[in-house]
C-alpha cells in the first residue's frame, strides 16, 4: 500500500459509516433509510456502495444561499458546475419528498446572457437524479409556478436573478403547489450538497409549452373586458415583455410597449419597478399617450409597479389597498396579509372594509407562508409581490395582479388617481438601505431596538417597528439578501415625518458600522 492510499484509507475510515442497523450513517434524519446515496459519478469506494464519506468536499460558495432563493455573480460565485450540483441536490430532495423514482419538475429561465448555459447544467443535474424535466425555456417565473399547479408537478426550478444587475444570476426553487423552497430549506440544501448526499437515477427531459395554457386560463378568468383601454407596459428588457404585452391585448387593452424586447444586458434601465428612477419613461409614456395607467414588471415578471393616468407613481401599499378593497367586497371577514414594513393605512382600511389584517415578516416567502397559515386569499409587500388566491393559485403573479387592477378601474369607471384619493393620506420616505456588514447587522438592530423600546411601543417580529403615535412609525430591520439594513418611515403629516426621521437618523448615526447617507 502506497503512502497516499494509506492516509486516504486512514482518514476515510474515520469518516466512513455504513447504512447498517447497528451503525447509522451521520446524515440520518436528512435522508430516507432506503435512499441510496452514491459517490461522484465514475468513482468507487473500497468500503462498498453504502459508504457516505467522500474523498473530497465539493467547493461551494455558501453566500449564494440566501433567505428566499439562490443568487450570486455569474462566472464567479455561480458556475455551470454550481448549477449542476444544485440540480443534483434539489432533484434528490424531490425524490425524497415525492417518494417517486421519477418526480416531474418544470425548468425555465430568464433572459440573462448566461441563463441558457446555466439552464443546461441544471437540466443535467436534475436528470442525474431520475427527474423528468419539463423544459419551458425562456419564460417569466409565474408561468413556471402556473405549470406546477395546473399539471400537479412535484417541483419547479427557475434560472433567474429577478431584478438584480445583469452580471448576477440565481435560482428560484419550488415544491408542490408552487410553494417556495426557501429559508432553512435552502440551508439544508446547501448542507446536502456539501456532503454530496445525492440520489442517483436516470431522468429525462422534454420540451413543454407553458404559454398557451397560461393564456387560455387568463382568458377564461378575465375575458376581454378592457374595451380598448390604453395601457403602457415597461418590462425593462426582462423576460416578461412578449408574454405580458400579448396577455394585455387578449384582455382588450390598447397596449403601448416600452422595452419589452428581452435583453439580458438591460440596456435601458434596471428591471426593478420598486425603484422610482426606473419608471420615468413609463410616466412620460402614460401622459403622452393618455393611458389609463402604466404597469412595470421586474426581470422575471413576478413584481409589479403602477403609474396612474396622471403619471404619478403609486406605491405597492396603494396597489394592495386597491386589491384588498375589491377582494373584501366579496369576502367579508377574510384575512389579508401585509408585512411589518407596510403602511399603517392598510391596517385601518382592511378593518374598515370588514377584513382582518395579518402582519408578517418582510419577504415574499413569509407572505406566502402567512397566507397558508391564516387561510388568506390575498397578500402583498412593498417590493411589488402580490399574491392572488381568489380564483387563482395564490403565488406571486404580477400579471394577474395587474389584470385585477385593470378590471377594478374598468368596473369603477374612475381613474386610478380618483380611486386612490379615497385612501388615507400618509407621508413616507423612500426605503433607505445603508450598508452594514452582515456580521454586525443583528447586533446593531438589537441595540437600536433596545434604545427605542425604552421610550416607545416596539414590535419585534422583524427588526423593530417603532410606534411614535398619531399614525407615525419607523421600521428598522436587517436585510435578508444584502449587507445592509432597511429603514422605512411613515407619518400623517410632513412635519411629523421630518421629526421621526431626525430622531431615527440621530440614533442610527451612533453606530459607525452603518454607512447612512454616504457617511464613510
CATH superfamily, with its number, for domain 427-518: Alpha-D-phosphohexomutase, C-terminal domain (3.30.310.50)
pLDDT for the residue 42: 35
Is residue 348 a contact partner of residue 461, using CB atoms and an 8 Å limit?
no
> Quick one: how far is CA 8 from the chain centroid?
43
What the block records as the C-alpha cell of 505 is 437618523
> Please, what is the end-to-end C-alpha distance for the chain in angstroms?
60
CATH topology of domain 62-209: Alpha-D-Glucose-1,6-Bisphosphate; Chain A, domain 3 (3.40.120)
Helix (H) or strand (E) holding 86: helix 80-98
Is residue 206 a contact partner of residue 133, using CB atoms and an 8 Å limit?
yes
- Residue 95 has phi, psi (to 5 degrees) of -60, -45
Set 128, 162, 274, 341: catalytic member: 162
What the block records as the C-alpha cell of 230 is 390604453
pLDDT for the residue 59: 73
- Specify the DSSP class assigned to residue 277: G
Distances (CA, A) of 170 to 64, 65, 185, 206, 363: 8, 9, 16, 23, 17
- When pLDDT is averaged across residues 203-211 and rounded to a whole number, the result is 98
| pLDDT at residue 387 is higher than 50 | yes
What the block records as the C-alpha cell of 466 is 417603532
27 or 297, which is more confident:
297
What the block records as the C-alpha cell of 57 is 468536499
Order across the sheet with 168-175: list the strands.
Answer: 70-73, 168-175, 155-159, 104-109, 132-138, 204-207
| pLDDT at residue 501 is higher than 50 | yes
66 is catalytic: no
Order across the sheet with 293-297: list the strands.
Answer: 254-258, 230-234, 293-297, 304-308, 313-314
269 is catalytic: no
Set 385, 404, 465, 511: catalytic member: 385
Q: Which residue has the cell 455551470?
A: 80
Label residue 517 by pLDDT band (50, 70, 90): low
Q: Are strands 472-478 and 464-469 parallel, antiparallel or unpaired?
A: antiparallel
Distances (CA, A) of 510 to 299, 447, 518: 37, 10, 15
CA angle, 385 as apex, 384 and 388 as ends, to 5°? 125
Q: Which residue has the cell 424535466?
A: 133
Q: Kindly report the average pLDDT of the chain as a whole number.
A: 90
- When pLDDT is averaged across residues 329-357 and rounded to a whole number, the result is 98
> Which CATH code of 3.40.120.10, 3.10.20.30, 3.40.640.10, 3.30.420.10 fits the domain covering 214-421?
3.40.120.10
Is residue 227 a contact partner of residue 103, using CB atoms and an 8 Å limit?
no
pLDDT for the residue 480: 82
Label residue 401 by pLDDT band (50, 70, 90): very high
In the chain, where the domains are located: 1-56, 62-209, 214-421, 427-518
Helix (H) or strand (E) holding 272: none
pLDDT in tens, 101-146: 999 999 999 999 999 999 999 999 999 999 999 999 999 999 999 9
What is the pTM for the complete model shown? 0.87
Measured between alpha carbons, how far is 207 from 453 in angstroms, rounded to an integer?
56
Q: Which residue has the cell 447509522?
A: 24
pLDDT in tens, 35-83: 333 333 333 333 344 334 444 545 799 999 998 899 999 999 999 999 9
385 is catalytic: yes
Sequential DSSP letters for 104-167: EEEEEE-S-TTHHHHHHHHHHHHHTBT-EEEEEEE--HHHHHHHHHHHT-SEEEEE--TTS-TT
234 or 479, which is more confident:
234
Label residue 481 by pLDDT band (50, 70, 90): confident
Set 66, 71, 114, 269: catalytic member: 71
Q: Are 62-209 and 427-518 the same fold in CATH?
A: no
- When pLDDT is averaged across residues 173-199 and rounded to a whole number, the result is 97
Helix (H) or strand (E) holding 357: strand 356-360
Amino acid at each position: 500500500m502506497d503512502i497516499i492510499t494509506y492516509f486516504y484509507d486512514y482518514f476515510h475510515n474515520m469518516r466512513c459509516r455504513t447504512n447498517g442497523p447497528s451503525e447509522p450513517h451521520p446524515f440520518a434524519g436528512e435522508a430516507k433509510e432506503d435512499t441510496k446515496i452514491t459517490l461522484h459519478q465514475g468513482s468507487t469506494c473500497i468500503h462498498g456502495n453504502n459508504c457516505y464519506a467522500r474523498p473530497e468536499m465539493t467547493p461551494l460558495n455558501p453566500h449564494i444561499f440566501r433567505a428566499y432563493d439562490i443568487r450570486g455573480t455569474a462566472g464567479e460565485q455561480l458556475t455551470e458546475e454550481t448549477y449542476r450540483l444544485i440540480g443534483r441536490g434539489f432533484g434528490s430532495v424531490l425524490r425524497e419528498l415525492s417518494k417517486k423514482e421519477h418526480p416531474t419538475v418544470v425548468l425555465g429561465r430568464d433572459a440573462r446572457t448566461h441563463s441558457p448555459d446555466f439552464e443546461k447544467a441544471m437540466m443535467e443535474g436534475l436528470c442525474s437524479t431520475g427527474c423528468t424535466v419539463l423544459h419551458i425555456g425562456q419564460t417569466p417565473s409565474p408561468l413556471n409556478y402556473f405549470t406546477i399547479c395546473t399539471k400537479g408537478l412535484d417541483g419547479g426550478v427557475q434560472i433567474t436573478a429577478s431584478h438584480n444587475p445583469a452580471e448576477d444570476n440565481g435560482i428560484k426553487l419550488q415544491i408542490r403547489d408552487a410553494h417556495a423552497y426557501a429559508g432553512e430549506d435552502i440551508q439544508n440544501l446547501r448542507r446536502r450538497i456539501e456532503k454530496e448526499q445525492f440520489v442517483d437515477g436516470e431522468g429525462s427531459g422534454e420540451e413543454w409549452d407553458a404559454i398557451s395554457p397560461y393564456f387560455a386560463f387568463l382568458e377564461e378568468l378575465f375575458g376581454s373586458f378592457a374595451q380598448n383601454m390604453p395601457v403602457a407596459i415597461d418590462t425593462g428588457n426582462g423576460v416578461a415583455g412578449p408574454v405580458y404585452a400579448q396577455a394585455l391585448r387578449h384582455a382588450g387593452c390598447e397596449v403601448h410597449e416600452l422595452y419589452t424586447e428581452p435583453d439580458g444586458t438591460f440596456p435601458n434601465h434596471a428591471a426593478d419597478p420598486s425603484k422610482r428612477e426606473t419608471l420615468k419613461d413609463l410616466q412620460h409614456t402614460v401622459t403622452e399617450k393618455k393611458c389609463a395607467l402604466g404597469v412595470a414588471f421586474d426581470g422575471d415578471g413576478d413584481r409589479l409597479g403602477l403609474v396612474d393616468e396622471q403619471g404619478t407613481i403609486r406605491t405597492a401599499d396603494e396597489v394592495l389597498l386597491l386589491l384588498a378593497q375589491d377582494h373584501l367586497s366579496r369576502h367579508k371577514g377574510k384575512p389579508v396579509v401585509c408585512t411589518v414594513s407596510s403602511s399603517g393605512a392598510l391596517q385601518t382600511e382592511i378593518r374598515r372594509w370588514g377584513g382582518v389584517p395579518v402582519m408578517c415578516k418582510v419577504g415574499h416567502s413569509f407572505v406566502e407562508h402567512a397566507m397558508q397559515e391564516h387561510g388568506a386569499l390575498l397578500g402583498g409587500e412593498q417590493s411589488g409581490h402580490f399574491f392572488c388566491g381568489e380564483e387563482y393559485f395564490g403565488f406571486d403573479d404580477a400579471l394577474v395582479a395587474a389584470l385585477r387592477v385593470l378590471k377594478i378601474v374598468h368596473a369603477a369607471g374612475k381613474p386610478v388617481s380618483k380611486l386612490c384619493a379615497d385612501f388615507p393620506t400618509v407621508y413616507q420616505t423612500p426605503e433607505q438601505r445603508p450598508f452594514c456588514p452582515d456580521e454586525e447587522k443583528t447586533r446593531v438592530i438589537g441595540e437600536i431596538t433596545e434604545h427605542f423600546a425604552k421610550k416607545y411601543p416596539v414590535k419585534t417580529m422583524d427588526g423593530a417597528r417603532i410606534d411614535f403615535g398619531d399614525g407615525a412609525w419607523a421600521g428598522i430591520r436587517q436585510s435578508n439578501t444584502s449587507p445592509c439594513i432597511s429603514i422605512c418611515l411613515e407619518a400623517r403629516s410632513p412635519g411629523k415625518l421630518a421629526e421621526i426621521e431626525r430622531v431615527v437618523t440621530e440614533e442610527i448615526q451612533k453606530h459607525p458600522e452603518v454607512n447612512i447617507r454616504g457617511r464613510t
